[in-house]
Amino acid sequence: MELDKIPIPTFLAQQRDEVAPPELQPLFLDFEEFWERKLWHQLTEALLQFYNNPASGPQRIPIYKNFVLSFAAKINQLKLVSLGLAAASQCKDYQEALEFMTDVAAKVNQPASRDAYVYATVETARIKLYLGDLEGARKALDEAEKILDRFDSVEPVVNASFYRVNADYYHTKQEFASYYKNALLYLACINIADLTPAEQQEQAFNLSIAALLGDSIYNFGELLLHPILDSLKGTDHDWLRELLFAFNAGDLNKFNALVVHFPKQPVLEKQTSFLREKIILSALTEAVFRRPPHDRAMSFQTILQETRVFPEEVEYMLMKALSLGLIRGSIDQVAEVARISWVQPKVLDRNQVESMRRNLQEWDTSVNKLGLWMESKLEIPEV
């Protein structure tokens, strides 16, 4: 990025008088004052205010090249990258934006500003995704991750950028479990109120699809408790939210009622058999969860009634649940009994909480009866 040979005061005056809209012109007076007085922090904040205003679009690149780069080494390098990102958004195409951000990354590639370098590198990966260069994006993300792993702490904006772009990469690859993990980590790094309603709905929609289709995701608790999911209420995708709660509760009836929506999402329709197996496993874990811990020896016949599978599928389903870590226990093939010692915890809805309350009441009653029986046996007969 070569600087044009023009005095800074002259350049700022031209930009103020000839290009800037009236509402942004006062900021140019601040730019010049802070620059002359070498008040780099105040100058950076004024520039961020300018770049965050949509009306600054046409001026972002020339101001970055002819003004910001003249003192780039003197300001916070993370904020320098933020200014560079805002400027790159005005490039004519993604290839130009990639070249622009590659220069920004090279500018901040210093031992004292590794976090800024990670930020810029991750953003180059994002642009490579737009260009369809998945291999290049993965290489940049892996480089950034190696540096991040050496940090004790890092600014939230850097982590948010990494997890967002990493999630975008896995979304493109349709690796649902990895996308789900990284998208939730991204949301943990930001205030979701900063996202527009459309962005919230997009995040909730993509997370819902990933939760359903992830072959290792059988616990949706973190998503079900996240406020992002509420953004689907009252929209055309509200049924997805209901479907997630149906899976969490192992509600086969509700699942069957919602299957009619699958044609709206071909990616779900193609995986109907997988989703049916997943809801059956959820029904199994729910059936185990409802039973008190001392009564979790379930006959195959009971499992048939709870899960509605064919008799020849019971053992396969139990083995699948054991292999996925959804339950622990043993299978007695001769007696046709599954003895369950543990079931994976899950987020509880009102009905499940009520079921737990009943189990606790039963346990309390049993303990009281045992106590009374022991007292009766320990009574000392009168002489």
Chain segment 321-341, per-residue pLDDT in tens: 999 999 999 999 999 999 999
Question: Is residue 356 in a domain?
Answer: yes
Is the pLDDT assigned to residue 274 strictly greater than 70?
yes
**How many helices, marked H, and strands, marked E, lie in the chain?**
19, 3
Predicted pLDDT of residue 3: 45
Tokens of 276: 């049916």
* Cα-only R_g, the chain: 30
Q: Which residue has the tokens 């792993």?
A: 149
Mean pLDDT value of segment 363-376: 80
Does some domain include residue 348? yes
Residue 94: how many other CB atoms lie within 10 Å: 17
Q: Which amino acid makes up residue 375?
A: E
How far is residue 178 from each of residues 67, 144, 146, 171, 257, measured CA to CA in Å? 41, 17, 18, 8, 29
Neighbours of 103 (CB within 10 A): 16
**In-domain check, residue 296:** yes
CA–CA separation, 365 and 375 (whole Å): 15
Q: Domain boundary at 37, 60, 89, which? A: 89
CATH number for the domain harbouring residue 367: 1.10.10
Predicted TM-score (pTM) of this structure: 0.87
Give the pLDDT score at 354. Answer: 72
pLDDT tier at 350 (50, 70, 90 boundaries)? low
pLDDT at 379: 62
The residue ranking higher by pLDDT, 216 or 357, is 216
- What pairing do the DSSP bridges indicate for beta strands 297-299 and 327-332? unpaired
- 5 within some domain: yes
- Supply φ then ψ for residue 343, to 5 degrees: -135, 145
Please state, in angstroms and rounded to a whole number, the distance separating the CA atoms of residues 86 and 138: 23
Does any domain span residue 249? no
Instruction: Please say which residue of 89, 113, 148 terminates a domain.
Output: 89
- Residue 230 inside a domain? The answer is no
pLDDT, tens digit (0-9, with 9 covering 90-100), for 12-66: 999 999 999 999 999 999 999 999 999 999 999 999 999 999 999 999 999 999 9
Count of domains forming the chain: 2
Task: Measure CA of the first residue to CA of the last residue in the chain; give whole Å.
Answer: 105
DSSP summary character for residue 251: -
Q: What is the pLDDT of residues 163-220, one digit of tens each?
A: 999 999 999 999 999 999 999 999 999 999 999 999 999 999 999 999 999 999 998 8
**Between helices 114-130 and 94-107, what is the axis angle to 10°?**
170
363: pLDDT strictly greater than 80? no
Q: Please provide the average confidence, as pLDDT, over all residues in the chain.
A: 93
% residues pLDDT > 90 (the chain): 84
Residue at a domain's end among 89, 124, 142? 89
* pLDDT score recorded for residue 2: 44
Strand (E) or helix (H) holding 282: helix 272-290
Domain limits for position 352: 288-376
In a domain, residue 11? The reply is: yes
Mean pLDDT calculated for residue range 241-268: 95
pLDDT at 375: 79
Is 98 contained in some domain?
no
